[in-house]
Amino acid sequence: MKKIITIGEIVVEIMAVETGNGFLSAISLIGPFASGAPAIFIDQAAKLGQPCGIVSAVGNDDFGVLNVERLRNDGADVSAIAVHPTAATGSAFVRYRQDGNRDFIFNIKHSACSAIGLTPQAEALVETADHLHIMGSALFSDGIVAAIHEATRRIKAKGGTISFDPNIRKEMLELPGMREALGHALENTDLFMPSGAEIFLFTQATEEKAAVAELLARGIKAVVIKRGAEGASYFDASGETIAPAFKVEEVDPTGAGDSFGAAFVTCWLRGMAADKALVIANATGARAVGVKGPMEGTSSMAEIEAFLAARNLSGV
Ligand code: ATP
């Protein structure tokens, strides 16, 4: 089986249970939850039984242990997670507004994540990889961007593949070097996975079908557009495959896109047809939104099979 790696942040998330006027009036918090988009992605790939690993860094603290043990227990290769001698594990505080939007306070850039780079252990992991998944959220430091460039070069040189989920937060776009880093990821990607209107940040076209055509003409093999509660679409040279979402109660949307992405990439690397891969990825996303905590709703293949069987579908 092909080995997937990703490079980026591991954090703990602390969540406001009750919302009010920002964090000032948050009454109670829950957590810490294992989190970080690349960590959620790799946890989900591991749970599906795909060989996978992450290049990252945590502090020499309980939050680091919580994350590393979680990934290790779920089957991910944690050999390239460095332990920073002094800086703490990254953290994120999240609160949900009544309108469904989220506010975050991040402490990532100056956390242990600042040490993420191509250590000898990371180089060894890249050596074993067939596929690199790039997440836009990880492109916040020069060290990570350089590591992703080098891993991209090495994996492509040996015939491997790249997927890219821009996962963009508005405030990130103006960071120095961010647009160049996103452009470099796009140029090298085989499978592009934006959510909704994110695609237009990468195209001249302002209409979806034209935007996809523009990307395919630039050499991207396939595009998957995530559409939240509407499901997802897959596009390649032969056209569009549409798959509606499963109807579930959304308890916590954080991590749905990362879980969906890991399931789709896993199925794609296993050579599964797009319609089937979309069903499995939609089921994975639906299970993720049904559970509180960013990484608490990741699924094993048995859980996905049970979810589908309960809906008279067999996807696998
Ligand atoms: P995030 O950045 O919050 O992780 P995203 O914007 O990358 O998410 P979404 O499109 O929100 O990704 O969700 C990914 C997938 O998860 C969807 O394509 C869908 O399959 C599933 N999903 C998301 N929200 C829901 C929902 N409310 N009901 C059912 N499925 C959902």
* DSSP E strand boundaries for 150-229: 161-165, 191-192, 222-226
Structure confidence at residue 131 (pLDDT): 99
Structure confidence at residue 26 (pLDDT): 66
- Residue 316 covered by a domain: no
Strands lying side by side in the sheet with 11-16: 29-35, 11-16, 90-96, 102-107
pLDDT exceeds cutoff 90 at 192: yes
By most ligand atoms within 8 Å of CB, the mutation choice from 15, 172, 226, 246 for ligand 1 is: 226
Q: 285 in ligand 1 pocket by Cβ < 6 Å?
A: yes
- Residue 160 covered by a domain: yes
43-84: per-residue pLDDT in tens?
Answer: 999 999 999 999 999 999 999 999 999 999 999 999 999 999
Structure confidence at residue 103 (pLDDT): 85
- What is the percent of the chain with per-residue pLDDT over 70, rounded to a whole number? 98
User: Of all protein residues, whose CA lies closest to atom 7 belonging to ligand 1?
Assistant: 257
Q: 282 in ligand 1 pocket by Cβ < 6 Å?
A: yes
Angle between helices 301-309 and 274-289 (to 10 degrees): 90
Residue 221: exposure state from Cβ atoms within 10 A (0-12, 13-18, ≥19) = middle
- Residue 186 covered by a domain: yes
Phi, psi of 47 (to 5 degrees): -65, -25
Count of domains in the chain?
A: 1
254-304: per-residue pLDDT in tens?
Answer: 999 999 999 999 999 999 999 999 999 999 999 999 999 999 999 999 999
Please report, for the domain that includes residue 165, its CATH number. 3.40.1190.20
Q: What is the DSSP string of 86-127?
A: SSPPEEEEEEE-TTS-EEEEEE-TTSGGGG-S--HHHHHHHH
Cα(247) to ligand 1 centroid in Å equals 12
Question: What interface predicted TM-score (ipTM) does this complex get?
Answer: 0.98
- Residue 221 covered by a domain: yes
Residue with tokens 């048995």: 302
Range of the domain at 245: 4-309
In three-state secondary structure terms, 191 is strand
